[in-house]
Structure formats: structure tokens, C-alpha cells
Amino acid sequence: MKKVGVAILGLGVVGGGTYKILTGHRDFYRKSYGVDISVEAVLELRKERALALGIEEGKIATNIEEICSNPEVDIVVEVMGGVEPAKSFALAAISAGKSVVTSNKELVCKFGHELESAAKHNHVGLFYEASCVGGVPIIRALLDNLQGNKVISLMGIINGTTNYILTRMTQDGISYSEALKEAQKLGYAEANPSSDVEGFDATYKLSILSSLCFHTKIPYTDIYREGITQISPCDVQYGKRIGYAIKLLAIGKNTEKGVEVRVHPAFVKLGHPLASVNDSFNAVYLTGDSVGEVMLYGRGAGELPTGSAIVGDVIYCATHSQHRYSPFENTEKAKPSTKFIKNFESAYYIRLSAEDKAGELSKVTSVLSRNGISVAQVVQEQDGIRGEDGKVPLIVVTHETYEDSVRRAVEAINKNGGSTTVATVIRVVS
């Protein structure tokens, strides 16, 4: 029976989960796949953490050199997070002839091209299923199961922290700050949550996924990004009343005009599959030219779901002698021929603060019309909360239009110096 040794760099939540799965299912993998996978070393400075998991003291390394020089280690699992020292450690392992499995989306997003180039040079594998959408097997689906398709678009909820916060705001009517505190208390959000709530985490993941979907490098720096920190409870509830759920969406489209990639909050029409993805769950909704619409759904984070994705890569690496790499030219920047669409099309929810008098709506619709924007729905919230100036909320939902047109219209309304101003603009997915 083939024997494969694994080293784990870091025994935090994900590293600990990976160790538990590999050791707990060792006999199952022997019987099912004909391979004996054993954890031969861990790199963990907190020795008590390793010992508490039942790891032999002789297998606890204190530096990367011990891992790289260990002849029993074939695969190195990097679950440290961040760029450094994770990048240096991964490159050292690759140079030592060891395949690398990582859950590090920031590392793969920013330096995946360097890691893959080194892996090719050293004839080893690089695997990163766990870097995107936790336990949901999205990357394997793109590389293996959907190979017969040109993926036209993807739209996903790919950050569990923000989805939990927005779910609580929707279901409980609480504020963003209250929902964030609850998420932090439950361990869904970090003490410094900016990577999640400002959309960076989702942007890194969209860079990886859209590159695989569209077979061309999509750097994270070319993705439009907007977080959820400005979402108010009143907009969440107004949207709910008119048939929408609020989500932080990652959207990628490959069109004849170019590639469109963006991360931002959006209202999703109730009835769309993504509208019912709640709490810390994630989902990716794909459209292929042959298969049509496909949605993958599951836990987006956590000890065992993410560990499951890592172990899946370990088994795949252990049972395949030929290593495969990205189905596109994996470089730092996009090809010069790649055109990015910045003035994208969408429908929009616009909440205005208006004086409760005749003629205000017609002024607004006149400005929208001059900018080529067609109105699909108007709602005057008579029971809405009035501001100190006595103004009432007026909600307009547009038909699909251009981002630049909406920006110009909002600027014009706010510059008029009149009795109506724009309070909120949120994009709408129907």
C-alpha cells in the first residue's frame, strides 16, 4: 500500500480540524483509496496545543527547515493564513520537492502565480480547494466537472461573516454594529473584521474563482469592491417589504464586451436561490454555456468544513501521480488584451429623503429620465421614520441601467439644493 506523509503548518481552528479528519479517517482512506496517509509532522510553536491533540512530541517541529528536511513528509498543508511567513514556508516546501495544499485565499490570490511557477519547476502539486467557500467543492467542480463548459457568469455569497451579519439584520431588525458584535461573540468575525466587512476576503476569492471560470488571470486589483458597513436596518427592512433580501455578492461575468467583476452589497429578489442562503452558509451560482445554471451550497468556513476541503486535496494529491496546473496563463497581472467593464449594468434601489409635498417625485423622475434611467417601482413609506427635518423616505427601484448614469443622477439630485436628497443606493439583482 502506498504511504504518504503529511505535515501541517499551524494548528489553529482549520489546522486542528484537518488533523482530526486525517487521523480519525485513516483506516477509511486505506480501505477506500488504497493509500495510507499519516501526519508525520506539525509546525506549531504552542507545543501544548499539539500535545492536547494527541500529537507525539517528536513530531512537533519548531521551524520550517525541520519540515523540509523530513524524508517522511510528501505533502505540506499550509493553514497559517496571511502572506508571511506562509509564502516563504510554502516556497521552501515546494523547493524541497513537497506538494503544497493551502487554505490561504490571500496568498493564492496575490502570489499564486509564484507558487505555481515554483511547483511546475519542482514537479510537485499546488492545491487550494479550501481557499474559496470553505467546504463547498467549487474549485474541483471548475477544474474537473465543468470542463466541458465555457462559464458565462458566477454570482456568489462567499463570505460567511458578512452573510451572518446581514441575516441577523434582516431577521432580527438589529443594526450593523449590533450584528457585528454578535458575530464576534460567536467566533464568526475577527476582533478586526475589516477584511470581511469591507469586502477584501470576498474579493480575493472572486479573483481566484473568476480566473478559473474565465480561463484568464483576474487580479484582485481589477475587481470593484464595496463592503457592508454602510448598510442600515431601515434599508434592509424596506427591501424586505418590497421583496428583496440583502446579500454581499461576488459577481463575475464574461461577455463579448469584456469581463465584469465586482463585490458589493445587493438586493436579491426573493425566489432567487441565493436569497435563501442565510447565516454563515455560502453558495456559488454558476451559468455554463452547456450545463445552464448550477448552484453549489454549503458551509463556508469552520474547523471541519474547511478541513474537509483540505483533506480532499490531500487525498487527490496522494492518489494522482500527474500534477495539473491552472488552465490559463497564471501571471501577476491580467493580459493586456483583457478588457474590464467598469461601467456595468444593474438595477438599483435608491432611497431618498424627501419633503412630504406634491411635486417631489416628479423632480426625481425627471433627473433620472435625463440620465437615461427608467423607473420600475416607486414606494413612498408613509410609516417610515421621519428625520429631524420632517422628511420621509421615498424609494425608487430602477430598471437595469448603467452605473455611471446612476452616479450622475445621484450627484445631480444632491446638488440641486432642494428638499430631496439621496440617502442610499444599493444595486439590485432580479
CATH of the domain at 370: 3.30.70.260
* pLDDT at residue 169, rounded to an integer: 96
- 90 & 155 share domain: no
Residues 187 and 285 occupy one common structural domain: yes
* Same domain flag for 187 and 231: yes
The pLDDT value recorded for residue 127 is: 97
Tell me whether residue 325 is in a domain.
no
CB atoms under 10 Å from CB of 335, counted, come to 11
Same domain flag for 57 and 107: yes
Same domain, yes or no, for 282 and 266?
Answer: yes
For residue 62, being part of any structural domain is answered with yes
Same domain, 154 and 126: no
2 is catalytic: no
Separation between Cα atoms, residue 295 and residue 15, nearest integer Å: 28
> Last residue of some domain: 242, 267, 300?
300
326 domain residue, yes or no: no
How far apart are alpha carbons 216 and 138 in whole angstroms? Answer: 17
Looking at the chain, the whole-number percentage of residues with pLDDT higher than 90 is 86
- The amino acid that residue 27 corresponds to is D
Q: Per-residue confidence at 385, pLDDT binned at 50, 70, 90?
A: low
Structure confidence at residue 427 (pLDDT):
98
From 418, 424, 415, 419, select the one nearest 397 (Cα to Cα). Answer: 424
Split into its structural domains, the chain has a count of 3
Does 156 reside within a domain? yes
Give the CATH number for residue 226.
3.30.360.10
Instruction: Determine, yes or no, domain membership for 381.
Output: yes
What is the model's pLDDT at position 383? 59
- pLDDT value at residue 360: 77
Report the pLDDT value the prediction gives residue 388, as an integer from 0 to 100.
Answer: 47
pLDDT at site 244? 97
Same domain for 129 and 147?
no
Would you say residue 26 lies in a domain?
A: yes
Which triple of cell numbers denotes residue 244? 428583496
Residue type, 184: Q
Q: Are residues 285 and 143 in the same domain?
A: yes
What b/e sequence results for 359-377 when a residue is b if at least 16 CB atoms lie within 10 Å of its CB, and e otherwise? ebbeebeebbeebebeeee
Among 57-61, 137-141, 312-316, 359-363, whose mean pLDDT is lowest?
A: 359-363
Candidates 87, 98, 205, 247; catalytic one: 205
Same domain, yes or no, for 155 and 292? yes
Q: What is the mean pLDDT of residues 354-361?
A: 76
CATH code of the domain containing 109:
3.40.50.720
Phi/psi for 61 (5° steps) reads: -90, 155
Report, as an integer, the average pLDDT of 232-253.
96
Average pLDDT of 226-251? 96
At 366, list the grid cell: 425627471
Write down the pLDDT at residue 289: 94
Per the CB < 8 A criterion, the answer to whether 352 and 421 are in contact is yes
Last residue of a domain, one of 117, 134, 151: 134
Per-residue confidence band for 28, with pLDDT thresholds at 50, 70 and 90? very high
Q: Is 37 within the bounds of a domain?
A: yes
Peptide bond preceding 85: is omega within 30 degrees of 0, i.e. cis?
Answer: yes
Q: For residue 256, what pLDDT is reported?
A: 92
**Residues 154 and 110 both lie in one domain:** no
Around Cβ 62, how many Cβ atoms within 10 Å?
10
Closest CA to 268 of 294, 287, 242, 247: 247
Q: Do 292 and 148 share a structural domain?
A: yes
- Asked whether residue 231 falls in the same domain as residue 103, the answer is no
398 pLDDT more than 50:
yes
Whole-angstrom CA distances from 158 to 202, 248, 398 are 6, 8, 26
Domain of residue 73 covers 2-134
Share of the chain above pLDDT 70, in %: 97
Residue 250 maps to a domain? yes
Question: In the listed set 78, 106, 134, which residue is the last one of a domain according to the structure?
Answer: 134
